[in-house]
Amino acid sequence: MLYDGTCGFCARSVQFVLQHERPGGTLRFARLEGPLGTELRGRHPELATIDSVLWYEPPTASHPEQLLWRSRGALRVARYLGGLWALLGSLGALVPGSIRDAVYDWIARHRHELAADACLLPTPEQRSRFID
């Protein structure tokens, strides 16, 4: 999961994922401004305007890489969390994408106002899950 490293709302979102994921979580995190984010943006011009959360799955032998942003990325994070969050994500997927994205875009535009700047301080156990 890539996130805006300068955004308090995004930092709190990462903390939310870490607090609510199932035991043994495997999701890794990187700043959009870091090397991985810069490399992905260089390969995918459509990501030039993405500045909040991006779900990225690297390619495997059986699957090409996957990039999800805006509401699709947020719904994928909900599925990753499982339980009630996955159920809410499934319900959210029933809403037309244009409406979901409009709500997501409004939140993304106002994210700096919605949460004060916060420093993301992962625990020693969580640090290994941060790419940069």
Mean pLDDT of the chain: 90
Q: Which helix (H) or strand (E) holds 66?
A: strand 66-69
Q: What is the pTM of this model?
A: 0.86
Q: 22: which 2 tokens?
A: 């199932």
CA-closest candidate to residue 132, choices 14, 8, 45, 21? 14
Residue 84's contacts (CB-CB under 8 Å, 6 or more residues apart) are none
Where is average pLDDT lowest: 21-25, 71-75, 77-81, 99-103? 21-25
Evaluated on CA atoms 122, 67, 116, 83, the torsion sign reads negative
Using one digit for the tens of pLDDT, what is the confidence trace for 17-52? 999 999 889 999 999 999 999 999 999 999 988 888
The answer on pLDDT for 104 being more than 90 is yes
